[in-house]
Amino acid sequence: MKESRDEVMGNDVKSMLNAISGTYTILLIDKLFPMLKKTSDMEDIYSALAALAEMGRVMEAMQMIRGLFGIAGEEYPCLIASLEEQENMQEFFVMEFLEDFFEIIEEYRLGEKCEI
């Protein structure tokens, strides 16, 4: 029987991954959004990442995240890079990243509605 990711990682590790995700997701989107200018473009990125995660292609999702940092002109954070050897942590990180990404897109969407 395969252990779930919740059984493998303790709460401290999950809290750390959540903090890393929250910190770097906002940084990334704050750099990308002015370049793209539309939440629909950000939603497309989210959809592609979510599809990779749903298909279990976590490594590819991590590569896409790395590429997004490059597009944004940012160095790939060493804290995220350090997860590349830890498959269970990568999976949890990608899920946290997607949750944060979605929440931030929603905030941008609300901001767009207020400007109309």
pLDDT tens by residue, 60-71: 999 999 999 999
Helix (H, G, I), strand (E, B) or coil at 103: helix
pLDDT at 115: 56
CA distance 21 to 75: 15
Q: Does 5 map to a domain?
A: no
Asked if residues 28 and 69 have their Cβ atoms less than 8 Å apart, the reply is yes
pLDDT at 1: 37
pLDDT at 112: 65
Which domain, by its residues, includes 60? 11-115
Q: Which of 103, 106, 95 is nearest to 17 (CA)?
A: 95
Q: Does 15 map to a domain?
A: yes
Q: What percent of the chain has pLDDT over 70?
A: 89
Domain count, the chain: 1
pLDDT at 35: 82
Residues of the chain with pLDDT under 70: 1-8, 112-116
What sections of the chain are H helices per DSSP?
5-8, 11-36, 39-54, 58-71, 78-81, 87-115
